[in-house]
Amino acid sequence: MIRPAAIRSTRAFRPGLVGVAFVGVAFVTGSAAAEEMRYDAQVAWFHAGTISMTLGENGDRYELSGVVTIAGAMNRLFKWRGQFAATGRMVEGFPTTKAYLLLEDDGETREVLLAFGDRTTIHATDDESEELPVPPGSDLMSVMFLAPHCLAETTVHDGEDAYRIVPERTSERNLNQRSRYYSGPTIRCDYRFRYVDGSTRRVSVWIAEGGDPRFPVRVQVRVPFLPDGVLRLRVDR
């Protein structure tokens, strides 16, 4: 859902391969207690799954990892599960990726993608591996969930392709949601995502004023000819 390719299509990750893919990646050690967050996904009136994430920090270094599970009515359409992880540093309030991991499974083929150093390695179940230059920019998950402010125009990537996030407007909004989610004053950041194939998606992100909670409280993805997809941060845990 959140991965750039996943906004356009639906692929997934293989949890059982996590241990193998993390070999050689330097993750944050000795960090303070990790913060956990959970987002509920909704499409139209239907519950569509969850995204559960954990953030560990040590000084300016961070490790963000998560599990995506699409369920309910949308499971008939997407059948999507996934795992991702990213490590990097916060530089002037902006996440800068050091390594990014995706584990994918579309039901027929499985794929591990690891972007580390200057290379992206992709390994599929047919035992064929491919190496590509790491695209420019930081990974989308880090940028979307860790940047504490509306973004200027920037480049992000999914490990394979880079694309642009173009800001359209910023506005103050009072957000009213059910009690399990955040309600209160927010800054709404409206963007247009521009992909390498020329297509675009409109995405809106709501950030709580005052930074409490520190993570985006709502994310809305608008896809032509389909109902909007919405993520809401749970605050009742």
In angstroms, rounded to a whole number, what is the distance separating the alpha carbons of residues 49 and 217? 16
pLDDT for the residue 74: 54
- Looking from the CA of 93 toward its CB, the CA atoms found within 13 Å total 8
* Among the ranges given (42-56, 60-74, 164-178, 193-207), the one the predictor scored with the smallest mean pLDDT: 60-74
pTM exceeds 0.85 for this model: no
pLDDT for position 109: 67
More confident of the two residues 159 and 9? 159
Is the pLDDT confidence value at 96 over 50?
yes
H helix intervals, the chain: 4-8, 18-21, 140-146
Range in 164-168, 173-177, 227-231 the model is least confident about = 227-231
Mean pLDDT lowest among 1-15, 29-43, 115-129, 133-147: 1-15
pLDDT at 69: 81
Residues 94-113, mean pLDDT to the nearest whole number? 83
The 10s digit of each residue's pLDDT in 37-55 is 999 999 888 888 899 999 9
Per domain, the residue ranges of the chain are: 4-233
Distances, alpha carbon 61 to alpha carbons 29, 31, 47, 212, in Å: 10, 9, 34, 21
Task: Report the pLDDT value the prediction gives residue 159, as an integer from 0 to 100.
Answer: 87
